[in-house]
Amino acid sequence: MGVGSALDPSPTANFVGVKRGTEKRTSRPQGSPLVFFILKGNLMVNTSTSLQGKPELRRDVSVWGSYMWGFADVGADTFVALGLVMAYAQGATSLVFALAGIVYILIGLAYTELASAYPVAGGGPYFCLRGLGDFWGFVAGSALLLDYTIDIALFATASAGYLNFFMPFVLGRSIESFATNIGPFHSVNPMWGVETLILIGILIWLNVRGIRESSFLNEVIGVIVILTESALVIMGFLFAWKPELLALQWKTQFPSLNHFMYGSSLAIISFVGLESISQAAQETRRPATIIPRTSLTLIFTVFIFAVAFSTLGLGILPWQDFAKNVDNPVAVLAHALPFIGFAAGPFAAGLGALILFISANTGVMGASRLTYSLSQFKIISSWFDKVHPQYRTPVRTILVFSMIGVIETILSFLTPSAMHTLGNMYAFGATLGYTMVFIALIKLRFTDPYSPRPYKVPVNMSFKYRGRKVGLPVIGIVGLLGVATILFEVVWTHSIGRIAGPAWIIFCFIYYAWYRRRQRLPLFRSVKHDWEKEQINVLTSAEEFDLLEQYKLALAERDKKKVELR
């Protein structure tokens, strides 16, 4: 998941020591890094300036870097989702992953169109803000912010879970043996909870200090993950997979309808992280060409791995073995392989712990970049922009939203299964955000038909809208119905998700209403935005001069028709 980030390219950036209002560059203390310890989303600020004289993200991500950036984000989710889904989908796990994966493909196509048309690091909230207005941009931002805080808690918990694979070898007892009852709370595992809180504490310290890291390490880890997963799939199907076991579990262990819905709603978290496509857009060279190639490749790679692992798992072990090990399912699968299992199990556990720790870190960094962006569009207060005087990191945002992640962690460990609790909350935020992105995709086809779209979601129905031919994305409508169905499943089957998820949105709305009223800004209407000027600046910054020329010609044709109609 991990999930992506949002950062507006044009506003004066406190992150780099730019004084508001004066655009005066201040010096950074010696040794204080500009780039956070973010292996899945480095903040790269150009020393040159935009047309408005303001710093902007450096476009320095290649084709390979763009792909690996996305894979390291989305590819980690299988390490979490496999056991959770198996516990409910049982013998139908492969079908559940396939159905959720098809919806994920449609979501990916929508993000590909929007990210290549609007190559800025805004993600879903930016698309909704631009297509639907300030209020709906706030709703999408709230959903994504929920995912970022859950990201911190869920992936830190999962990272500790994979570390616990080694506990029997170190302490001679499994992590389950530490579970106990505390008053009215049953099956509480304080050891696992403490491990998770320690990992989150390390993340907070790293992000406040702003330890420098290169995206090169992100690419290296991504390659190792791809090679490891590929080796497990190939070795598993060649030497361990029993199709008769898969068929037996399909026939005798098919879940009830309620469990099937619950499992399919959890399966979507295996594909959460598509925000990384738009996150990388603003830092990608020639995004109109690169983004469609890399994102489409990423979509189908992750889909293949998710379906392959679920199919492989059901043909090697009973689904109950994965359900009992929701904390480290991929390590359990690797350990069951012949010839290499003795080494593959510990290796997969160590790799899972590392990549999930990195995924948890995305939540810390993503929350800071998202709140920074929302503050520039007057969705939230600029109080969140405050940076540490020495380390030049957004310390308030890091502390506030990391502590929310800590609270979510503690509360989740008071439930019978922390992983299940965090998983269904994660699914709520993701599906709500994806639903709104599909609506924004359709709306922008009509309200902004002039922006060139290097890639379009296929299968379109042509309409005349205000004298211009517009394509209604049929697949976009199908995708909207699909992700809305999963959102319904989350609300219907998750007792915690249907209460805590909407409660979070309501809580955020109370703050939003207070802030907008205090600033004397409209609550449900939008502040005036000059989107055409911004689009020109974005395309110029991306050096997409052909698209820029097309855009200007389309605007000129529109203006000419307006004059003729007068």
Going by C-beta distance under 8 Å and a sequence separation of 6 or more, which residues neighbour residue 361?
37, 38, 39, 40, 203, 206, 207
Q: Is residue 4 part of a domain?
A: no
Residues 155-192: tens digit of each pLDDT: 999 999 999 999 988 888 888 888 888 888 888 889 99
Q: Is residue 122 part of a domain?
A: yes
* pLDDT of amino acid 436: 95
CATH of the domain at 125: 1.20.1740.10
**Domain range enclosing 41:** 14-565
Which residue bears the tokens 């499994």? Answer: 174
* pLDDT of amino acid 397: 87
Residues 262-279: tens digit of each pLDDT: 999 889 888 876 676 565
Q: How far is CA 244 from each of CA 238, 241, 323, 379, 548, rounded to the nearest angstrom?
A: 15, 9, 20, 55, 57
Q: Is residue 154 part of a domain?
A: yes
Mean residue pLDDT across the chain: 82
Q: Is residue 6 part of a domain?
A: no
Structurally, how many domains does the chain consist of? 1
Q: Is residue 302 part of a domain?
A: yes
Query: Which band of pLDDT confidence, cut at 50, 70 and 90, is reported for residue 121?
Result: low
Q: Is residue 436 part of a domain?
A: yes
CA 536 to chain centroid, in Å, comes to 27
Q: Is residue 182 part of a domain?
A: yes
Residues 93, 318: contact at Cβ < 8 Å? no
Residues 387-437: tens digit of each pLDDT: 778 877 788 888 999 999 999 999 999 988 889 889 888 889 999 999 999
Query: Which band of pLDDT confidence, cut at 50, 70 and 90, is reported for residue 206?
Result: confident
Query: Which band of pLDDT confidence, cut at 50, 70 and 90, is reported for residue 26?
Result: very low
Q: How far is CA 430 from each of CA 76, 141, 144, 156, rounded to the nearest angstrom?
A: 16, 11, 7, 18
Cα R_g (the chain), whole angstroms: 23
Has residue 92 got a pLDDT over 70? yes
What is the C-alpha to C-alpha distance for residues 321 and 333, in angstroms, rounded to an integer? 9
Q: Is residue 112 part of a domain?
A: yes
